[in-house]
Amino acid sequence: MSRALVKFAAVLLGIAVFAGVEHERGASVSRTAESALAQPATFLDATSDAEARELRRATRHLAQDLSAAARCDVRRSPDCVLPALRRAGMGGRTSAMLVRGLMVRVPAGPCRTYLFGLAAANDAAGDQARWLLMQFYGGPQRRRAVDAQIRLAAQMLDRAWPAAAADVCAPGADGPST
């Protein structure tokens, strides 16, 4: 009976090895197909231009929102400052994430350089706004620091969005097509 068990185990092992090899071969083919599909095209097109313009507009709106909040008296009108900090905290992070997604699809050059700066400014402004929001609730001494820091975050975004021409990501802006 033990011989029959050994033979049965050997047959089972052979089937498992065969199935594993076939599975691995199928997996390598599917991995190759997935990698070919997952690699985005790197050229400027109308979509990259439209997305870059929209992200530029969103950054400009965040800068304007923070600039308006910087003109408010933090100690006297928290209702003027808090909504702007909340929007900048969420909007900065979200815009940075969307810019990074767009950067993957554009070739190296002026467009990608502009998008890199836009992502960095949005990310930093979002981090700054979330930190300032926590400082705001820390008491009167901390609120004084919030006033100056809001102004700095607004200036950072104000410098980032107009850093390149509006058509920097337009089709053909990266040079002649090959």
Residues 79, 122, 80: CA angle, nearest 5 degrees = 10
79 shares its domain with 113: yes
pLDDT digits (tens, 9 = 90+) for 131-141: 998 888 777 77
The answer to whether 63 and 158 have CB atoms below 8 angstroms apart is yes
In a domain, 178, yes or no: no
In a domain, 16, yes or no: yes
25 shares its domain with 51: no
55 shares its domain with 84: yes
HSE-CB at 108 with a 13 A cutoff on CA atoms is 0
In a domain, 108, yes or no: yes
Residue 176 scores a pLDDT above 70: no
Domain count, the chain: 2
Q: What is the mean pLDDT of residues 161-167?
A: 87
Q: What pLDDT, on a 0 to 100 scale, did the predictor assign at position 101?
A: 92
Residues 171, 112, 50: CA angle, nearest 5 degrees = 45
Q: What pLDDT, on a 0 to 100 scale, did the predictor assign at position 16?
A: 60
- Under DSSP, is residue 7 helix (H, G, I), strand (E, B) or coil? helix
155 shares its domain with 83: yes
7 shares its domain with 54: no
75 shares its domain with 112: yes
In a domain, 23, yes or no: yes
Q: What pLDDT, on a 0 to 100 scale, did the predictor assign at position 146?
A: 83
Report the chain's mean pLDDT, rounded to a whole number.
80
63 shares its domain with 9: no
The answer to whether 147 and 84 have CB atoms below 8 angstroms apart is no
32 shares its domain with 119: no
In a domain, 173, yes or no: no
3 shares its domain with 69: no
Q: What pLDDT, on a 0 to 100 scale, did the predictor assign at position 33?
A: 46
> Which structural domain, as residue segments, surrounds residue 145?
47-160
pLDDT digits (tens, 9 = 90+) for 78-121: 788 889 999 999 999 999 999 999 999 889 889 999 999 999 99
CA–CA separation, 105 vs 178, rounded Å? 17
Query: Higher pLDDT residue, 84 or 12?
Result: 84
51 shares its domain with 97: yes
HSE-CB at 131 with a 13 A cutoff on CA atoms is 12
In a domain, 79, yes or no: yes
- Which residue type, as a one-letter code, is found at position 155? Q
- Which residue type, as a one-letter code, is found at position 89? G
In a domain, 141, yes or no: yes
Q: What is the mean pLDDT of residues 20-36?
A: 50
CA–CA separation, 88 vs 83, rounded Å? 8
